[in-house]
Amino acid sequence: MPPGCGKTRASVGPVSALQDTPAEMIFQPSLIKTEEAQLMPRVSLKEDLTAPLGDAHFASIEDHYAAINGCIKCPLNKSRNKFVYGVGSSRAKLMFVGEAPGAQEDLQGEPFVGAAGKLLDRILAAIQLTREEVYIANILKCRPPNNRDPLPAEVAECLPHLHEQIRIIQPKLMMCLGRIAAQSLLQTTAPLGKLRKVWHNYHGVPMLVTFHPAALLRFPEYKKETWEDMKLLKARYDQL
């Protein structure tokens, strides 16, 4: 079974009045200032991002994890401690996609367990959701050395794993957390500011883009924008 599936995490406490909660009480937005972002090279995958991904090749998340957790398709397998697959409900309506595992994720084998993960838990609580109700994964399943940006070749090798997770889970909505995740999935070099506030069609799944939680820890000026993104997401989620 993938690490984290079926776990019960300590409650972070619900936010009772969502509409009255100041963003600064919830967020602290991306590690990258938009105007300073170094644009990631376009990942040449030649995909039609509006075409459906097709049928799942595996019957379950557990079967898929068992098949790929020893992946050696790229050199990152040589430096990883643990393969970081994903966590949450395999029947989630909402899926979050980040960039890559960090140091704590690499040690524990679960995405978003460090400071950024704790913040993500608070963000979810603010829109009346829990980690167990959604699904959380990354573009890469292994930590890049020193948390460097994923290389285009690494993204190209690992993205099929994420696509299979999407095929199995069949989320109704997706949200990209951070510039690199968004640029990788949308195959663009557009800055984060241009990708936010609009719904993208990712293989038939409506998808929003927002700041990475780790970014909020360093750049509090993005709190308000992130909160607006989350309210937009919540409004559409409530219509499902």
Over the chain, what is the mean pLDDT?
86
Question: How far apart are the C-alpha atoms of 159 and 198, rounded to whole Å?
Answer: 23
Q: Which are the contacts of 96, defined by CB distance < 8 A and separation ≥ 6?
A: 120, 134, 135, 136, 137, 174, 175, 177
Domain boundaries, the chain: 49-237
Token digits for 75? 């050199």
CATH 3.40.50.300 fits 49-237, yes or no: no
pLDDT tens digits, residue range 53-106? 999 999 999 999 999 999 999 999 999 999 999 999 999 999 999 999 999 999
Identify the residue whose tokens are 């780790």.
Answer: 214
Rounded to two decimals, the pTM is 0.85
In terms of Cβ atoms closer than 10 Å to its own Cβ (0-12, 13-18, 19+), residue 123 is: buried
Token digits for 15? 């936010």
pLDDT band at 2 (very low <50, low <70, confident <90, very high): confident
pLDDT tens digits, residue range 15-33? 333 444 455 455 433 333 3
At 145, which amino acid appears?
A: P
